[in-house]
Amino acid sequence: MKPIFLTSIALAVGAFLPCSSHAGEKALIDTTRSPAARMYMVDLGDVKWTGGFWGERFDVCRTTMVPHLWEIFQDEKASHAWANFRIAAGLEQGKFAGPPFNDGDFLKWLEALAQVYAVTRDPELDEQMDRIVAVIVKAQREDGYLHTKTIIPQRQGNGQVKEFADREHFETYNMGHLMTAACIHYRATGKTTLLDAARKAADYIDGLCRTVPGDLARNAICPSHYMGVVELYRTTREPRYLELAKQLIEIRSLVPPKEGSDHNQDRVPFRQMTEAVGHAVRANYLYAGAADVYAEDGDKTLLKTIETISDDVAGEKLYITGMTGALYDGASPDGSKDFTSIKTVHQAYGRDYQLPNLTAYNETCATIGYAMWLWRMLELTGDARYADLFEQSLYNGVLPGISLDGRDYFYVNPLRKLADFKWPMRWSRTRQPNIPSSFCCPPNVVRTIAEAQNYAYTLSKDTLWVHLYGASALNTAWIDGGRVRLSQETDYPWKGAVKLTVAEAPERAIAIRLRIPSWVGEGTTVRVNGQRADGDPKSGSYFELRRTWKSGDVIELNLPFAPSVWEANPLVEETLNQVAVKYGPLVYCVEANDLPDGVRLQDVALTTDSASKPAKLVPETIANARVFSVVLPATALRRPHWESGQLYRPLNAGSPQRFDLKLVPYYAWGNRGDTDMTVWIPLR
């Protein structure tokens, strides 16, 4: 594919930027003017964590996660990503090294840096971004193409290196993350240098879409550029970018049948899809991008497709931790009568109910992609089930991807780990200080934690939505200028008491909608200024309080917290006769660290009480705990030991022995050394 020069349409970005900024137009995802969106996010700096669970996580992100990644990126032995940009910019000598997608991964980290700056306004971060952006802009080709794996040899005189020579080189993925990072950088700083580069990249892709759409469709690997192009449209209001975003979906049908596959979600045209298939990261990015397009053009055929696929995931392909992408390797469409259509897949959605635990892939990036998709579905519909799924994935799917100290990572996330399981797996199931062959997950999880506060509240006409509970301060305004300030005090996710204190509100009736999570049982109460609110708060919905609010008004929400025990559909074969334990929104697990000497994890079962439920399970608070403050003690049984090589044995081969056990939050597992762990536990 030949490069296309678009200097005639590469106009100055300033000509298209809004002349003024309303609240929401400096948000993480700007849907203030999206016709099909039901709500919009507040600006990047309008929410600040003030302590508690998320305040601690943000502090670790700010002080350790973000700086530590910069150390890795600058160390050429650990990562060549930053060196690749400098070499492409002509500032260093050398050759390209590392995975082809590391350009995009570096830009994810830059997005995290911009978000931290939006909250802290630290001038040193602003100066650091200026220096980095200057190098990226210099590395970019004049026609807008940015992919250092190609640019470096080209600038060194190698005419044999061509664009899009290999569909697995992730060119559009890299340029998509450039667009997203540029929008966040612009909204945080007001500077257009990186945004100009993003426009050039979008113009380059636009040219390909117009002239060689089939080639572009075949190279839509991990299509971050779908979301990137839409966000660039929202930032610049350039209509060509919206048209490009729509066409990026349409041209997928141009992939020849023999070349398309479930692995890349191009075996059939997009609107014919009814289930999630193939590479989970690529799939979730695609579905999130389609949701963005629908928000802008209101094409209900797109909405029908992503709603159908979303129901398929939530009902048949989702781990209890909110993770997706069960398989290391498989085949799809598995079991098809037309066996010639079956092709290999990896990092993939599998069959319905195919949710292995020991061999679960669950790439951290796949869960982040799923969360991005869920959030967009929530913005479109206002349906609380998407908020519930988003919270489930955020706590139990995203957070496990990084250690409590912010320096070690999981690439894959099994729900069970046993040292006796000797089968060689491609990726470590022990936290790693670096993942040089695929460093996509570390910056992705860091940017998600850096941006988590943006998901706590949204606005719609005369309504403030409260989606996430965490100690925080909100200071924002509606599009019409009406301002709202409030504080939230809570120990969530450890306790269900939430106190919202209004400091400022418009002089008209405003609704505040509180999310009542679906896992909550009976007993939720809402009080305003000490008086019980009218209405019945129902789990899995939003409870609306509408009035003219005054400074000093207090809302008290009490969500009943208790351990809950879950079982899976019997079609999930690996969890038959097993249970998982949750407390509030958190999934818990057992680590071998907490077992008595001589007891192995695979020999552990939970005992039951007279109601056939696990015995004990009374929350226990740990004093002065830094990150997790509630453990769940339980009464367990040590079953007879299985000998190596013993595949079967008679039932009740020996007497089980009782002992006390405790469960800890799954997101925190693997922080006490290399240990066995399980989420699902046999019940006896």
Cβ atoms within 10 Å, residue 473: 16
Predicted confidence band at 233 (pLDDT cuts at 50, 70, 90)?
very high
- For residue 63, pLDDT over 70 is answered with yes
Longest dimension (CA), the chain: 81
Tokens of 10: 């590469």
Q: What tens digit of pLDDT does each residue of 394-411 get?
A: 999 999 999 999 999 999
Residue 569 shares a structural domain with residue 498: no
Predicted confidence band at 422 (pLDDT cuts at 50, 70, 90)?
confident
Q: What is the pLDDT of residue 624?
A: 55
The segment with the largest mean pLDDT, out of 39-43, 423-427, 561-565, is: 39-43
- For residue 622, pLDDT over 80 is answered with no
- Kindly state whether residue 45 falls inside one of the protein's structural domains: no
Predicted confidence band at 615 (pLDDT cuts at 50, 70, 90)?
low
- For residue 12, pLDDT over 70 is answered with no
- From CA 167, how far away is CA 291, in angstroms rounded? 24
Residue 569 shares a structural domain with residue 678: yes
- Out of 119-123, 243-247, 254-258, 556-560, pick the least confident: 254-258
Tokens of 534: 């009218």
- From CA 488, how far away is CA 485, in angstroms rounded? 10
- Kindly state whether residue 351 falls inside one of the protein's structural domains: no
Q: What is the pLDDT of residue 1?
A: 41
Predicted confidence band at 611 (pLDDT cuts at 50, 70, 90)?
low
Residue 544 shares a structural domain with residue 466: yes
Task: Return the sign of the alpha-carbon dihedral for residues 289, 291, 297, 299.
Answer: positive
Of 524, 539, 558, which one is at a domain's C-terminal end? 558
Predicted confidence band at 168 (pLDDT cuts at 50, 70, 90)?
confident
DSSP states of 523-541: --EEEETTEEPSS---TTE
- Kindly state whether residue 474 falls inside one of the protein's structural domains: yes
Of 558, 592, 614, which one is at a domain's C-terminal end? 558
Does the global pTM surpass 0.75? yes
- From CA 368, how far away is CA 399, in angstroms rounded? 10
Q: What is the pLDDT of residue 663?
A: 92
Q: What is the pLDDT of residue 160?
A: 92
How many distinct structural domains can be found in the chain?
Answer: 2
Are 556 and 466 in contact by the 8 Å Cβ rule? The answer is: no
Any idea what the CATH number is for the domain that residue 526 is in? 2.60.40
Amino acid in the structure at residue 596: P
Amino acid in the structure at residue 304: K
Cβ atoms within 10 Å, residue 293: 25
- For residue 23, pLDDT over 80 is answered with no
- Out of 13-22, 52-61, 573-582, 652-661, pick the least confident: 13-22
Predicted confidence band at 338 (pLDDT cuts at 50, 70, 90)?
confident
Q: What is the pLDDT of residue 437?
A: 79
The whole-number average pLDDT for the span 612-632 is: 70
Question: Looking at per-residue confidence, does 359 or 1 come out higher?
Answer: 359
Q: What is the pLDDT of residue 626?
A: 59
- From CA 433, how far away is CA 410, in angstroms rounded? 9
Residue 623 shares a structural domain with residue 657: yes
Q: What is the pLDDT of residue 166?
A: 84
Question: Looking at per-residue confidence, does 237 or 637 come out higher?
Answer: 237
Of 540, 558, 576, which one is at a domain's C-terminal end? 558
- For residue 473, pLDDT over 80 is answered with yes
Name which of 318, 313, 25, 77 is nearest 190 in CA terms.
Answer: 25
Are 352 and 317 in contact by the 8 Å Cβ rule? The answer is: yes
* The 3-state secondary structure of 226-282, one letter per residue: HHHHHHHHHHHCCHHHHHHHHHHHHHHHHCCCCCCCHHHCCCCCHHHCCCCCEEHHH
- From CA 520, how far away is CA 667, in angstroms rounded? 20
Q: What is the dihedral of CA 65, 67, 70, 74, to 10 degrees?
A: -130
Q: What is the pLDDT of residue 619?
A: 81
Report residue 263: phi and psi, to 5°. Answer: -55, -40
Rg of the chain's alpha carbons, rounded to an integer?
Answer: 25
- Kindly state whether residue 501 falls inside one of the protein's structural domains: yes
Residue 513 shares a structural domain with residue 615: no
- Kindly state whether residue 673 falls inside one of the protein's structural domains: yes
Are 103 and 109 in contact by the 8 Å Cβ rule? The answer is: no
Residue 486 shares a structural domain with residue 473: yes
- Kindly state whether residue 462 falls inside one of the protein's structural domains: yes
Q: Which residues contact 171 (CB under 8 A, 6 or more apart)?
A: 145, 147, 150, 163, 164, 219
Q: What is the pLDDT of residue 16?
A: 41
- Out of 107-111, 202-206, 519-523, pick the least confident: 519-523
Give the side-chain half-sphere CA count within 13 A for 599: 22
Q: What tens digit of pLDDT does each residue of 426-435 get?
A: 888 889 998 8
- From CA 662, how far away is CA 682, in angstroms rounded? 15
Alpha-helical segments (H) within 18-170: 52-60, 66-74, 81-88, 102-120, 123-139, 148-155
Question: Looking at per-residue confidence, does 183 or 437 come out higher?
Answer: 183
- Kindly state whether residue 678 falls inside one of the protein's structural domains: yes
Are 270 and 253 in contact by the 8 Å Cβ rule? The answer is: yes
- From CA 655, how far away is CA 683, in angstroms rounded? 15
- Kindly state whether residue 534 falls inside one of the protein's structural domains: yes
Tokens of 511: 């609704």
Residue 567 shares a structural domain with residue 667: yes
Alpha-helical segments (H) within 140-218: 148-155, 171-189, 193-211, 213-218
Residue 570 shares a structural domain with residue 620: yes
Residue 604 shares a structural domain with residue 554: no
- From CA 501, how far away is CA 515, in angstroms rounded? 17
> Any long-range contacts for 345-348 (C-beta under 8 Å, 24+ apart)?
345/261, 345/262, 345/263, 345/277, 345/278, 345/279, 346/263, 346/279, 347/279, 347/280, 347/281, 348/263, 348/277, 348/278, 348/279, 348/280
- Burial class, 361, CB count within 10 angstroms (exposed 0-12 / middle 13-18 / buried 19+): buried
- From CA 408, how far away is CA 430, in angstroms rounded? 9
Residue 533 shares a structural domain with residue 573: no
- For residue 328, pLDDT over 60 is answered with yes
The whole-number average pLDDT for the span 168-173 is: 90
Cβ atoms within 10 Å, residue 577: 11
Residue 588 shares a structural domain with residue 677: yes
Domain that holds residue 654: 563-682
Give the side-chain half-sphere CA count within 13 A for 54: 27
Residue 550 shares a structural domain with residue 569: no
Residues β-bridged to residue 476: 484
- For residue 209, pLDDT over 90 is answered with yes
- For residue 247, pLDDT over 90 is answered with yes
- Burial class, 160, CB count within 10 angstroms (exposed 0-12 / middle 13-18 / buried 19+): exposed
